[in-house]
């Protein structure tokens, strides 16, 4: 049998329901420290809340990407520093070999060290970082060069591809973070080709050719400048990554503050609200309990 409720009872129950809901919400805010957990908690802030969460997630991903790239670029910069030092050694050997006291035999001995240096340059081109061949361009799972001194020239054709990857700065701009080995070590411009310069010196020493030796030495200044320019590229990439990381950290802090404004509860205010609602709940229950209960017989007397 269905029993309808009178208007006063219905109003009372609805009011009590609202008070109980308020108590539950205040208790949740006190327990979690959060004012908004689900979209139903405060629909008015939902749009701003979701956008802030999305922006924060994007920045965290940018930060993670920058941390990974930082390792790669640092490795590349360190490798280019080694390359610059190796080529300085090549120039020292060339200068020593040009001395008037040098013989064909002594120059062949120097040629052996130059050969070792050329092999080391090829190994530098195949540098790996975090599972990536960092100078192989976008084909970063294979080495850039191999070397075989029975061949002419002794280094292979470039086995990588162009380097097209760019890093995304938190401000929305992008910047290059890699150079391929064929640009660094085997440049199409002969005046910037490290391999060709070292090999020209090696051949001049093996053949004891004074004219070829002077020609090889004349071109070394340009190659040295080229290597230092490549080193400078990676130094600049390091600076851009550092700036991107700093910017991302500052933006994350600002967004976290905004998010807290949307989500976080004023716990002190929630405690006061809870006390007030509990008082209202107790008062309502007491008033209801003291109200005389009437039945049909009361109206038939």
Q: Does the residue 156 lie in any domain?
A: yes
Residue 265, domain member (yes or no): no
In this structure, is residue 38 part of a structural domain?
Answer: no
Q: Is residue 236 part of a domain?
A: yes
Burial zone of 282 (CB within 10 Å; 0-12 exposed, 13-18 middle, 19+ buried): exposed
The pLDDT value recorded for residue 255 is: 74
pLDDT at 89 (0 to 100)? 98
Cα dihedral value 90, 93, 97, 98, nearest 10: 70
In a domain, 263, yes or no: no
271-295 pLDDT, tens digit each: 555 566 666 667 667 666 666 655 5
Residue 203 in domain? yes
In a domain? residue 19:
no
Q: Are 289 and 21 a contacting pair, CB within 8 Å?
A: no
Q: Is residue 291 part of a domain?
A: no
Q: How far apart are CA 14 and CA 35, in angstroms?
A: 23
Residues with pLDDT less than 50, the chain: 1-2, 266-267, 296-297, 299-301
Range of the domain at 237: 49-257
The pLDDT of residue 124? 98
Q: Residue 74 is part of a domain; what is its CATH number?
A: 1.20.1330.10
How confident is the model at residue 143, as a pLDDT?
A: 96
Q: Count of domains in the chain?
A: 1
pLDDT in tens, 20-78: 655 655 566 556 656 555 555 556 556 666 777 787 788 888 888 889 999 999 999 99
Instruction: Tell which residue, 110, 140, 144, has the closest CA to residue 124.
Output: 144
pLDDT value at residue 251? 83
Neighbours of 153 (CB within 10 A): 16
DSSP type of residue 38 = S
The tokens for 58 are 């994007």
Selection from 220, 251, 7 nearest residue 117 by Cα:
220
């Amino acid at each position: 049998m269905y029993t309808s409720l009178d208007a006063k009872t219905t109003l009372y129950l609805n009011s009590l329901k609202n008070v109980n809901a308020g108590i539950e919400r205040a208790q949740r805010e006190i327990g979690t420290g959060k004012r908004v957990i689900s979209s139903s908690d405060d629909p008015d802030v939902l749009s701003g809340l979701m956008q802030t969460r999305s922006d924060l997630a994007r920045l965290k991903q940018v930060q993670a990407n920058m941390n990974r790239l930082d390792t790669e670029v640092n490795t590349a910069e360190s490798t280019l520093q080694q390359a610059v030092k190796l080529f300085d050694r090549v120039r020292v050997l060339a200068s020593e070999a040009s001395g008037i006291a040098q013989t064909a035999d002594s120059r062949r001995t120097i040629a052996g060290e130059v050969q070792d240096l050329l092999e080391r340059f090829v190994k530098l081109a195949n540098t790996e970082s975090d599972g990536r061949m960092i100078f192989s361009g976008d084909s970063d799972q294979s080495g850039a060069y191999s070397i075989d001194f029975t061949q002419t020239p002794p280094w292979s054709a470039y086995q990588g591809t162009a380097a097209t990857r760019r890093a995304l700065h938190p401000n929305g701009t992008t910047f290059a973070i890699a150079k391929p080995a064929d640009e660094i070590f085997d440049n199409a411009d002969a005046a910037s080709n490290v391999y060709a310069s070292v090999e020209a010196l090696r051949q001049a020493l093996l053949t004891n050719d004074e004219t070829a030796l002077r020609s090889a030495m004349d071109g070394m200044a340009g190659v040295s400048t080229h290597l230092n320019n490549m080193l400078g590229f990676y130094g600049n990439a390091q600076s851009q990554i550092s700036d991107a990381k700093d910017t991302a950290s500052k933006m994350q802090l600002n967004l976290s503050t905004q998010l807290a404004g949307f989500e976080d509860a004023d716990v002190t205010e929630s405690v006061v609200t809870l006390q007030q609602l509990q008082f209202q709940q107790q008062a309502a229950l007491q008033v209801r309990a003291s109200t005389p209960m009437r039945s049909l017989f009361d109206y038939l007397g």
